[in-house]
Structure 1
Amino acid sequence: MTALIADDPTAAALLADVPCYPVPLQGGSPALDALRAARVGHGLAVGKDGVLLILRRPWLALDIPVAPPIAAHLPYGSVGGPKADLRCGFIPSEHLGSILDVLRAALPNEAAAFVLWNEATREFAVEFPVIDEATPSRLVYRIPVLQPDWHMVCDIHSHGTGSAFFSATDDADDAHATKISLVFGRLDQPDGPTRASRLCAGGMFLPLPRSPFAGDHHAA
């Protein structure tokens, strides 16, 4: 008989929403296999080589180490290596071009764009938000209301002619989201814009191994 992890129903529900599973030393783990195959979910795998966050969204499959190996001896197996796979595939390159055109057209002010993905049709779309205020150093815009089957993949904004970086405001906005964040700067330069990029997931800001756009090999 398995003992209850928590006797408080609210605590039990929260723990069930983000489960934590030990990795067996031999054989497989149906619980971990189900978490990795899930359409949506996240949880932790604990092994002899550390703790791994497993996060799944319709458009993203992420496995990322979040803690080093535990010093105590544990009869556990390996959690496995990190991975970040775009289940949606790479974003068509023409969308990057159209986004940069709009960001440049807004100069000297900042501007924004979102890349959305439809889980049912597997098509991408770019949405340019309603802008409430735009200056060369400030941007206030409205997050899109997603229709059924649509998911936000990229949240993009520009810094006009300034440098590309993530501000404290960006950090606060991104803290509880799962998305790719991109900032473009120096849009007035003939040799192309600079950019800052990161994957926001599980309350962490993770480096991107490469651009999410097809054919764009910019080092993220």
Structure 2
Amino acid sequence: MTVLADDPTAAAVLAAVPCYPVPPQGRSPALDALRAARAGRGLAIGIDGVMLVLRRPWLELDFPITTPLSLHVPYGSTGACRAELRCGLIPREHLDHILDHFRAALPNEAAAFVLWNEATREFAVEFPVIDEATPSRLVYRTPVPQPDWHVLCDFHSHGVGPAFFSTTDDADDAHATKIAIVVGWLGDPGGPVMLARLCADGMFLPLPRSPFSGDRHAD
């Protein structure tokens, strides 16, 4: 077996994010194991480019990160892009509870998290410790989940202002795997407006569907 690095630390880092070529026919046991894993990440290389394979107890993500290779290689296809919630859709009542909390906090901004328990498969809403809240600024603390609990959604509101992801949001979300949601126009008759994205390995990806049951964009 080829040794990829002679430094033990470097070897451990490379092993944590393995890179697998896709065979031109048949299956790859290594890729199958990664895709079936409870948690992990790696790269699949095929004729159609490089794909990130990311697994969390609540998430299955296969996302192409390059264009197709321009050179001839004896590889197969990495497969289709996909993003699936292993935990299932979040009950709509949790979203309603969060929006009620945000309205009650007006004119200030507010925050909330949706957590999921891997053992019991239940969802919960947690309102974090707020260090500062004004109509244009919010500083809050990300909860530290108890065993079996995972942070799914990180919500914050922009009060009566528009919904958008700021450069501060980008910096905060760059090293997390979660669904980030910002809510705006809470005081507007046509509101609220929500923007959502999947944060994964420094990428901000559009959600193919709403993560909440009963939402008009959920199906």
Fold agreement, TM-score > 0.5 = yes
Question: Distance between the aligned counterparts of 2:141 and 2:201, measured in 1?
Answer: 23
Residue equivalent to 1:204: 203
Gap runs ≥5 in structure 1: none
Deviation at 1:170, TM superposition (A): 0.3
Amino acid aligned to 1:94: E
Deviation at 1:218, TM superposition (A): 4.0
Amino acid aligned to 2:212: F
Residue equivalent to 1:77: 76
Are residue 12 (structure 1) and residue 11 (structure 2) matched? yes
Which runs of structure 2 are paired with 1:151-166 in the superposition (5 Å)?
151-166=150-165
Residue equivalent to 1:39: 38
Question: Distance between the aligned counterparts of 1:23 and 1:210, measured in 2?
Answer: 29
* Cα shift readout 1:119-142 (whole Å, capped 9, x = no counterpart): 000000000011111000000111
Amino acid aligned to 1:132: D
Which runs of structure 2 are paired with 1:134-145 in the superposition (5 Å)?
134-145=133-144
* Cα shift readout 1:133-166 (whole Å, capped 9, x = no counterpart): 1000000111111100000000000000000000
Question: Distance between the aligned counterparts of 1:33 and 1:86, measured in 2?
Answer: 18
Question: Distance between the aligned counterparts of 1:59 and 1:189, measured in 2?
Answer: 34
Residue equivalent to 1:130: 129
Mapped contact 1:110–1:135 kept (Cα < 8 A): yes
Question: Distance between the aligned counterparts of 1:206 and 1:142, measured in 2?
Answer: 23
Which runs of structure 2 are paired with 1:54-133 in the superposition (5 Å)?
54-133=53-132
Residue equivalent to 1:188: 187
| Greater alpha carbon shift after TM alignment, 107-116 vs 186-195 | 186-195
Deviation at 1:69, TM superposition (A): 1.2
Are residue 170 (structure 1) and residue 193 (structure 2) matched? no
Q: 1:193 to 1:218 in 2, by over 3 A?
A: farther
Q: CA RMSD in A?
A: 0.9
| Greater alpha carbon shift after TM alignment, 35-44 vs 209-218 | 209-218
Amino acid aligned to 2:25: Q
Q: What is the aligned residue count?
A: 218
Deviation at 1:10, TM superposition (A): 0.8
Mapped contact 1:21–1:32 kept (Cα < 8 A): yes
Structure 1 consecutive aligned stretches of length 4 or more whose deviation exceeds 6 Å: none
The two structures have a TM-score, normalised by structure 2, of 0.98
Mapped contact 1:159–1:185 kept (Cα < 8 A): yes
Gap runs ≥5 in structure 2: none
The two structures have a TM-score, normalised by structure 1, of 0.97
Deviation at 1:14, TM superposition (A): 0.5
Amino acid aligned to 2:156: H
Question: Distance between the aligned counterparts of 1:53 and 1:188, measured in 2?
Answer: 40
Secondary structure of the structure 2 residue equivalent to 1:67: coil
Mapped contact 2:197–2:204 kept (Cα < 8 A): yes
Deviation at 1:54, TM superposition (A): 0.3
Secondary structure of the structure 1 residue equivalent to 2:65: strand
